[in-house]
Every structure is written in structure tokens, then in C-alpha cells.
Amino acid sequence: MNDSAAGRAAQLRAQIDQANIRYYVHDDPTISDVQYDQLLRELEALEQQHPELVTPDSPTQRVGAEPQSELATVAHRAPMLSLANAMDDGELRAFDGRVKKELGIEGPVDYLCEPKLDGLAVELIYEQGRFVQGSTRGDGTTGEDITANLRTIRAIPLTLTGDVAPPALLELRGEVFITREGFAQLNRQRAEAGQPLFANPRNSAAGSVRQLDPKVTAGRPLRIYCYGYGLVDGHAFSTQEQFLKTLPQWGLPVNPEYRLCRGIDEAVEFYQELETRRDRLPYDIDGLVVKVNDLGQQTRLGQRSRSPRWAIAGKFQAQQATTIVEDIQASVGRTGALTPVAHLRPVNVGGVTVSRATLHNQDEIDRKDVRVGDTVLVQRAGEVIPEVVQVITEKRPPHAKPYHLPNTCPICGHEVYRPPDEVVARCLNLACPAQVRGRFEHFISKGAMNIDGLGEKIVERLIASGKIKTVADLYRLTFDDLATLEIERTVGRMETEAGQSKKMVALGDKVATKLLAAIDASRQTTFARFIYALGIRNVGEHLSRVLERACQGDLERLLAADTEELEAIHEVGATVAQGLVRFTGDQSNRAVIRDLLALGVQLEAVEAPAKGAGLSGKTFVFTGNLEQMTRREARELVEARGGRAATSISSRTDYVVAGPGAGSKLAKAEELGVAVLSEGEFLEMVK
Ligand code: IVH
């Protein structure tokens, strides 16, 4: 009995570790979050029954340590250096000049270029493949011991795995960071809990890693990418590229966005390219690190007191700037939430003119003490709305005026209410024009019904002219309604310049035809998009997909569900369940839903098991190269039909889908007598 328990525990640990590696190292998850949690729960239960089976590096032991009263200091055996900066192409070329002179070479130098992540530098020490200590960079010589906190980061393997034996000692350096998505989610949670918001992903990562209680760190979506090393004993690298390629083989995450550049021209080209792409990356970066690739050359170049001569950080334009708050006004969103917005003296922030910035809510205004007339630091990151980071208090003029959100809605004059335990104040009038407009805009947005071309101005005019009252009315619009709709157009020069002139212009036949086609195309949608489009409080895109799966794409099931049934769905909590039931129980909401369906909106249940083609209970393993789809797509196809995609073959595997290059897994499948399908046969099966 104990033997099999031990065997199962080992298997579960291996599966969980492997799942982490697939997710964090290869960006190619092979199991869903739900499946991951199931494995972890099974392991926890097993270890509770058999405490003797618990190992220090079991995935259940990531959060173990008790809160500390302070963080101990640790000395770095090899100093953690920082980097000199290059502010433009010219300074990068000057760096290249110095490198060549020092090395006495004329031809191009190979540079390994990596994005400069904006997080917190840490050191991870592995002894005999075991994670034994982690610390912050500190002043480069001594840092703080954050081992217990780093253990909670799933991207950090507690033991190194793989075919290449790990070295006896490996001191790694890397950057702990939080993705923009993770940051937004974290701040949403904090706003709901009435806690102060983090200013940016960098601060949230740094704050999370330096917690005294590892449980707090465990709740933060921290990631890490490794990029360097200190002392290494038992393994020799010859180039930075080789180093970066070796780490994933041990299960260590490396940012895949690196590039080997032959000569400084290629490096400069990458520097420019990356700056144009930076907003589209899922995390903040503030430059490109250019490193001499050859480690022998690195040694010859050596270092100055605090930074190496073999590397430099090519910095990007700042994403922050200071300007003056000329006014503060409340804007009203589709849920009635009042958001204070700072109207700024226009300022260039990283190449974009910014004239508005969010102040989030009253608590944030009070905490930062932002007043009209203040000089403030504003920041934009990615496609996120610019925000006010802090006040430059020394520059505060005597007349600077504190701001308070109004007690009545600035749009409709209705009462504004802020529940005692919430940070958000809302206009209580569901018919408030700002809310109505917001609901329409949400309904037609990309992730929802995706009606292309129906811009803000058109929606506003359709509402004002009384042509649309509920979202269902969109599907009643006629060609004439649209062709004759007059909207305000700015004619002549740029909108912001003086001397502009505005004129009412009918949309015309061409635009009307296009819009009607877009509206018509949106009739074919999915359950998840439809539910998301309805704009139910707390039901975002992800939860809509969860509901789609749970209801198997059947809208009637959702409409009939009570809170108890909803709460039984994994990921649906009491707040969401109550909000949903309140929404579906409302007669006018039901009428709009019925209207939409009667007007030809059709829900095709892509993610729900299609009747007759169900793969429910079937486990698939993919191996070799797939030619017609990615692994991820294949996995989604299986999961959408109720099946399970696994990474390793066992007697419980139902099918192995083998493409060219399939190796040991195919052999194992044959050995175990598991059915083997070609990619074509698999596609035929799921069709
Ligand atoms: S190399 C000796 N590579 O930048 C080389 N640093 O100013 C030292 N950073 O403290 C660092 N991404 O926090 C290196 N790919 C990368 C980096 C990176 C971010 C940070 C790191 C370091 C700072 C140096």
C-alpha cells in the first residue's frame, strides 16, 4: 500500500514539476489550471495520509516557512554588477568601438542581446541541483535572504531536472517580474479589498519579493527569467548563447526574446526594433542589454568597479514624464463607476502625447494627495491608460486645490453611492447616458460581439437619435437608419489646433453597407462572447469561457441556474454567482436576451463538447511535430470536446497522436498497446 502511495506521490510530483516547466519555461502549457490544481490537491491529500512521504522539494512545500520579523542579509560570493547605460544608437556604437579596441580586433564582434526586464534582480543558488538560497541584489555585495519567498514562485524549480547533469554549484542571476496582465489583476484585487494600489509592475514585483510572510508572496503572480551567473562549479560554458540555451534543459526559465547579433549594426537594428515592439510584450522592459557573446572575450575585457566592460544597457525612451494637472473630472463607465481623471497639460511620454491620466478612485487621490495645479509624474505602460504616479510636492503652488468626487453623477445628476466597504463610487441610475453608452461600447467591442467599424461617435449618435435603446436594437438597424445618420466631423486641420471647424455629415451608403455587414457577421458568435458582451458585473472573458464549458454551451442552462448550481462550478465564487442570478432573474435582461436570439444571434458552442463528437474521459498525448496546428491548438481541440491532453504516456492514455519525429513516446505507446493516430486521423476524429 505504502509502496504504491510512494509511487503515486513521485508520479504526481513529476507531473506538477513538468507542468510548471511547460508553462514557465516553454510557454506551452499541456494541462489546464483546473487539472493542475487537481494534481496538487491529490498530492496534498496523499502526503497528509502518509506524512513520511513529504520531501523538502515537493510542490506542496513551496509555502512552508513561517513569517519572519526581518529579512537576514547575505553576502554574494561573486558581486552582482550593474550595467552602464547607452542612451542612443551612437552610444551603443561607441561601446562597440571600445570593445574592439580593447580586444584588438577589427571585424564584427558577436553580441548576445536580451531585453532589459524592469523588475528586481535576484540570485538563486543551486547546490547539487537543489535550490538552497535566494537573495536580492542589494548593493551588489550584500543582499537580503529571500529564499522562502522565492520558493513560492512556481517558475523557479526546487530541483534541476533534465538529461544534462546540473553542476555541483550554480549561482544564477535573473530578474523577478510581474506581467502587465498579472499586475492589472493584482491591482483589481487590491482595489476590491480596499488596499492601496501598486504604482507599476516593477514596484509590485519588488514589494512582493521582499515580504516577511511567504504566504503573501505566494499569492502574487511572480515570474522570473534568468540571464546570468555568479560562481559555477562543475560545468563550463563558452558563450552567453550557450549558457542561455542550457538553462531550459535544467528546467530554468530564460526570456526567449534574445538574439545573437553579428556585429553592432545588427544589435542596433534589434535595439530599434524592440523599442517599437515593447508595448506589445506582456511585460515591461526599459532597454536592450548588449553582451559580448564569447565568454573568453568577456574575461579579457574585465570590469570597472561596478559594471562589466563587456556589456551595456541600450535604454529606451522613458515611459514617465512630469506635467501639470489642469483639472480633475469624474468620468462614468458602463457599470456606473466614477473614475477621477486628471486633465493634464499635454506632455510627450515615450513618443505619445498624453493629456489625460487616471487617478483610479478617491482613496488613491487621497493617498497620493493629488490636487488641481500640482506638478505630477505620469506614466504610460503598454496599452494601459496613463496614470498619475506621484505628486512632485516641492512644486506645489499655494493655490493647488484638493479634489473630491461629486455626490451626484456628472452626467445625469443622479445620486452617487459608495458602499462602506468598497473603493468605487457609482451612479445608481441604470439609464444614465454614460452607462448606456458604455454598455453599448462593451457589447460591440473586440472580445465581445466584435462589431467592426461601429465607433464611439456613431454609437453616441444612434443612442441620441433614439434608434438604439437596448443592445438588441443594433440588430434592428436598417440601411436607411445608418446611411442617413449624421455625425460630427472635424474638417480641415488637426483636431487639437485652433481654427478647426466641425460639421454634421451623413454616414452615407458605403459606410452603411459596411456596418450592416459587420453587424450581420456578429450574429454568428459563441456562448462565451455573448455572455461576456452582456456586461454582467465580474464576468470577464475568462469567466465567460468557464461558464460556456460548465453549461456545455447551453444558454438555457445558464438562465435556469441558481446560485448553488453556479457556485458548484470551479472558479465561480459567491459574488459572481449572486451577480449572475441577479442578472438572469431580471425580466428586462431576459427580454433583451430573447430579443437578441429572435433577431438571429446564434451561439455556436466552440468550446463545449459537440454532441456526438465528445471526447469526454479520453486522454490524448501528442508527440512529434504537428504540421496542421500547434500543440496548443491540438490541446485546445481536445479540451473543448471534454477530453484531456497529457504529456506522458501511461496505461490510462487512450490515444497517442504521433507526427514526424516522434520518438520514445511512440515506442512506449506501442509497448503499452495504446492506439496511435496520425495528425490527419486525429483531425478526422475531432471534426
Ligand atoms: S546583466 C553583469 N541582463 O539590469 C551584468 N541585467 O543595470 C549585470 N536586468 O541589476 C546584469 N534584464 O536587474 C542583465 N537581460 C539582462 C537584464 C538585466 C534586466 C537588470 C538587472 C541588473 C540591471 C543592471
Query: Which residue has cell 549561482?
Result: 171
For residue 225, pLDDT over 50 is answered with yes
Q: What pTM was computed for the model?
A: 0.66
The CB of 308 under 6 Å from ligand 1? The reply is: yes
Rounded to the nearest angstrom, the distance between the alpha carbon of 129 and the centre of ligand 1 is 24
Q: What is the whole-number distance in angstroms between the Cα of residue 479 and the centre of ligand 1?
A: 58
For residues 353 and 380, the answer to whether their CB atoms sit within 8 Å is no
The CATH code of the domain that includes 333 is 2.40.50.140
Same domain, 354 and 458: no
31 in any annotated domain: yes
The full DSSP string for 301-346 is H-B-SSSBSSEEEEEPPPSEEEEEEEEEEEEE-TT-BEEEEEEEEE
Residues 137 and 283 in one domain: yes
181 and 261 inside one domain: yes
- Assess whether the C-beta atom of 121 lies below 6 angstroms from ligand 1: yes
83 lines ligand 1 (CB under 6 A): yes
Q: Provide φ and ψ at 178, rounded to 5°.
A: -125, 135
Give, in order, the Cα–Cα distances in Å from 361 to each of 197, 366, 500.
10, 9, 34
- Pick the closest to residue 482 from 504, 508, 464 (CA basis): 508
Q: Check pocket membership of 274 for ligand 1, CB cut-off 6 A.
A: no
Q: Is a pLDDT exceeding 80 seen at residue 687?
A: no
For the chain, what is the domain count?
6
Check whether 102 has a pLDDT greater than 70.
yes
Q: Is residue 125 part of a domain?
A: yes
- Residue 180: CATH number of its domain: 3.30.470.30
Assess if residue 496 is contained within a domain.
Answer: yes
Distance (angstroms) between ligand 1 centre and the Cα of 111 equals 15
| Residue keyed to cell 453556479 | 566
Of residues 295 and 678, the one with the higher pLDDT is 295
Q: Are residues 589 and 445 in the same domain?
A: no
Mean residue pLDDT across the chain: 90
Tell me which residue of 74, 95, 99, 73 sits closest to 84, measured CA to CA. Answer: 95
Q: Tell me, what's the pLDDT at 493?
A: 55
What pLDDT does residue 17 have? 95
Choice between 496 and 564, residue whose per-residue pLDDT is larger: 564
CB 53 within 8 A of CB 46: yes
Residue 608 lies in a domain: no
The per-residue pLDDT for 608 is 45
* Coil vs helix vs strand at 428: coil
143 and 286 co-located in one domain: yes
Of the pLDDT bands very low, low, confident and very high (cuts 50, 70, 90), residue 194 is confident
For residue 171, how far is its CA from the centre of ligand 1 (angstroms)?
15
Alpha carbon separation from 314 to 103, 174, 367, 594, 657 (Å, rounded): 21, 18, 35, 57, 45
Instruction: Give the atom of ligand 1 at the shortest distance from the alpha carbon of 81.
Output: 2
Burial class (CB in 10 A: 0-12, 13-18, 19+), 248: middle
The residue assigned the cell 430579443 is 595
State the distance from the centre of ligand 1 to the C-alpha of 28, rounded, in angstroms: 26
Q: What is the mean pLDDT of residues 607-633?
A: 71
- In eight-state DSSP terms, residue 53 is G
CA distance 106 to 97: 9
Instruction: Identify how many contiguous H helices and E strands the chain contains and give both numbers.
Output: 24, 28
Position 78 in a domain: no
- CATH number, position 509: 1.10.150.20
The mean per-residue pLDDT over the stretch 276-292 comes to 92
Task: Give the CA count within 13 Å in the CB-facing half-sphere of 364.
Answer: 25
Does the CB atom of residue 288 touch ligand 1 within 6 A?
no
Residue 132 shares a structural domain with residue 259:
yes
Higher-confidence position of 648 and 243:
243
**300 and 241 together in one domain:** yes
- Residue 74 domain-assigned? no
* Minimum-distance ligand 1 atom for the alpha carbon of 137: 10
Phi then psi dihedrals of residue 202, to 5 deg? -60, -50
For the CA of 83, the nearest atom of ligand 1: 7
CATH (domain of 650) = 3.40.50.10190
The three three-digit cell numbers of residue 82, written as one number: 550593474
**Mean pLDDT of all residues in 662-686:** 84
Residue numbers of the domain that contains 108: 85-315
- What is the maximal distance between C-alpha atoms in the chain? 86
In a domain, 75, yes or no: no
Q: How far is CA 49 from CA 52, 55, 248, in A?
A: 9, 14, 34
Distance, CA 247 to ligand 1 centroid (Å)? 17
Best residue for ligand 1 mutational test, from 76, 225, 227 (most atoms within 8 Å of Cβ): 227
- C-beta 496 within 6 A of ligand 1: no
Cα 55 from chain centre: 32
> In 10 A of CB 640, how many CB atoms?
21
Q: Which of 113, 117, 241 to mutate to test the pocket of ligand 1 (most atoms within 8 A of CB)?
A: 117
- Give yes or no for residue 92 having a pLDDT over 70: yes
- How many CB atoms within 10 Å of residue 661? 9
Mutate to test the pocket of ligand 1, among 81, 83, 231, 281 (most ligand atoms within 8 A of CB): 83
Question: DSSP readout, 437-482?
Answer: HHHHHHHHSTTTT--TT--HHHHHHHHHTTS-SSGGGGGG--HHHH
| DSSP state letters, 211-225 | -SSHHHHHTS-EEEE
**Atom 12 of ligand 1, residue of closest alpha carbon:** 116
Same domain for 98 and 202:
yes
At 477, is the pLDDT very low, low, confident or very high (cuts 50, 70, 90)?
very high
Nearest protein CA to atom 6 of ligand 1, as residue: 116
Buried-exposed string 193-202: b where 16+ CB fall within 10 A, e elsewhere: eeeebbbbbb
Same domain, 535 and 594: yes
Is residue 612 very low, low, confident or very high in pLDDT (cuts 50, 70, 90)?
A: very low
- Residue 410 — very low, low, confident or very high, per pLDDT cuts 50/70/90? very high
Domain boundary among 603, 633, 654: 603
Q: For ligand 1, atom 3, which residue shows the shortest CA distance?
A: 227
Return the CATH number at 22. 1.10.287.610
- The DSSP annotation for 515-569 comes to HHHHHHHTTEE-HHHHHHHTT-TT--HHHHHHHHHHTTT-HHHHHH--HHHHHTS
114 close to ligand 1 (CB < 6 Angstrom)? yes
For the cut 80, the answer to whether the pLDDT of residue 234 exceeds it is yes
- Which of 375, 408, 427 delimits the end of a domain? 427
Q: Is there an atom of ligand 1 within 6 Å of 175 CB? A: yes
555 alpha-carbon distance from chain centroid: 29
What residue owns the CA closest to ligand 1's atom 2? 81
Residue nearest to atom 9 of ligand 1 (CA): 116
Which atom of ligand 1 lies nearest, measured to the CA of 120? Answer: 13
Centre of ligand 1 from the C-alpha of residue 80, in Å = 9
| C-alpha cell recorded at residue 147 | 529564499
Q: Are residues 498 and 351 in the same domain?
A: no
- CA distances (Å), origin 396, targets 56, 301, 325, 392, 640: 55, 48, 11, 7, 57
Specify the amino acid at residue 184.
A
Q: What does residue 507 show for φ and ψ, rounded to 5 degrees? A: -65, -40
Q: Compute how many other C-beta atoms are within 10 angstroms of the C-beta atom of residue 399.
A: 8
Q: In the predicted model, what is the mean pLDDT of residues 183-190? A: 86
Reported as a single tens digit per residue, the pLDDT across 562-573 is 999 998 887 788
**In angstroms, what CA-CA distances link 585 with 182, 435, 596, 682?**
33, 20, 17, 42
- On the question of pLDDT at 3 being above 80, the answer is no
Helix (H) or strand (E) holding 506: strand 501-506
Question: Catalytic site residues?
Answer: 116
Q: In ligand 1, which atom is closest to the CA atom of 114?
A: 15
Residue-wise DSSP of 214-267: HHHHHTS-EEEEEEEEEEEES---SBHHHHHHHGGGGT----TT-EEEESHHHH
Task: State the distance from the centre of ligand 1 to the C-alpha of 468, rounded, in angstroms.
Answer: 54
The protein residue with its alpha carbon nearest to ligand 1, atom 22, reads: 82
Q: How far apart are CA 348 and CA 319, in angstroms?
A: 9
Residue 312 CB less than 6 A away from ligand 1: no
Domain final residue, candidates 315, 349, 376: 315
Q: Is 302 in the pocket of ligand 1 (CB under 6 A)?
A: no
Q: Is 228 in the pocket of ligand 1 (CB under 6 A)?
A: yes
Please work out whether the CB of residue 254 comes within 6 Å of at least one atom of ligand 1: no
pLDDT > 60? residue 40: yes
Residue 140 in this model has a pLDDT that exceeds 60: yes
| pLDDT tens digits, one per residue of 160-180 | 988 889 999 999 999 999 999
Q: What would the mean pLDDT of 648-664 be, rounded to a whole number?
A: 81
Q: Is residue 492 located within the same domain as residue 588?
A: no
Residue 484 in this model has a pLDDT that exceeds 50: yes
- Does position 445 have pLDDT exceeding 60, yes or no? yes
* Cα(230) to centroid(ligand 1), Å: 13
DSSP helix/strand/coil, 192: helix
Question: What confidence score (pLDDT) does residue 382 get?
Answer: 63
In this prediction, residue 614 carries a pLDDT of: 75
How many residues make up the chain in this entry?
687
Closest CA to 123 of 100, 144, 98: 144
Mean pLDDT of 102-125: 97
Distance 311 CA to ligand 1 centre (A): 9
- What average pLDDT does the segment 433-451 reach? 93
For residue 118, the CA-to-ligand 1 centroid distance in Å is 9
Nearest residue (by CA) to ligand 1, atom 24, is 82
84-93, 109-118, 233-242, 630-639: which has the minimum mean pLDDT? 630-639
**Ligand 1: does its nearest atom lie under 6 Å from the Cβ of 380?**
no
- What was the pLDDT predicted at 606? 55
Count the neighbouring beta carbons within 10 Å of the beta carbon of residue 118.
18
| 68 is a domain residue | no
Q: Please tell me if the CB atom of residue 9 comes closer than 6 angstroms to any atom of ligand 1.
A: no
Identify which of 26, 210, 10 has the alpha carbon closest to the alpha carbon of residue 119: 210
Average pLDDT over residues 56-63: 92
Q: How far is the CA of 23 from the centre of ligand 1 (A)?
A: 24
Residues 296 and 209 in one domain: yes
The H-or-E segment that residue 17 falls in is helix 2-20
In short, whether 289's Cβ falls inside 6 Å of ligand 1 is yes
The protein residue whose alpha carbon is closest to atom 16 in ligand 1 is 116
Residue 112: the pLDDT is 98
